[in-house]
Amino acid sequence: MLIANISDFRKDIKTYLDKVSKNFETLIINRGKDKGIVVMSLEEYNSLMATNHELSSRKNETRLDSAIDKLKAGNTFSKDLIEE
């Protein structure tokens, strides 16, 4: 995680944005007492939104937890794909 104040960000905006996009860094721009802005790559944002959606209902969360438990326990199987 990177942290910068607004002045430093303005001075070197390209470098900060390159680090965010290339290194999957999250940048917090401090704007004063308890105020700030978070900058992240679009890919990271989309990933967070997908996770949020997957965990948006208790039913989905339970199904995912169950699948993870089965995988950890080695309770898996394989299927061949049907090619047409």
- Spans of all domains in the chain: 2-40, 43-73
State percent of the chain over pLDDT 70.
100
pTM: predicted TM-score of the whole model, two decimal places: 0.64
Strand order in the sheet with 36-39: 2-5, 27-30, 36-39
pLDDT tens-digit series, residues 52-79: 888 888 888 898 889 899 999 988 888 8
Parallel, antiparallel, or unpaired: how do β-strands 27-30 and 2-5 relate? parallel
Superfamily name and number for 2-40: YefM-like domain (3.40.1620.10)
Q: How confident is the model at residue 28 (pLDDT cuts 50, 70, 90)?
A: very high
Q: Render the chain in DSSP notation, one character per residue.
A: -EEEEHHHHHHTHHHHHHHHHHH---EEEE-STT-EEEE--HHHHHHHHHHHHHTSSHHHHHHHHHHHHHHHTT-----PPPP-
What pLDDT does residue 77 have?
Answer: 83
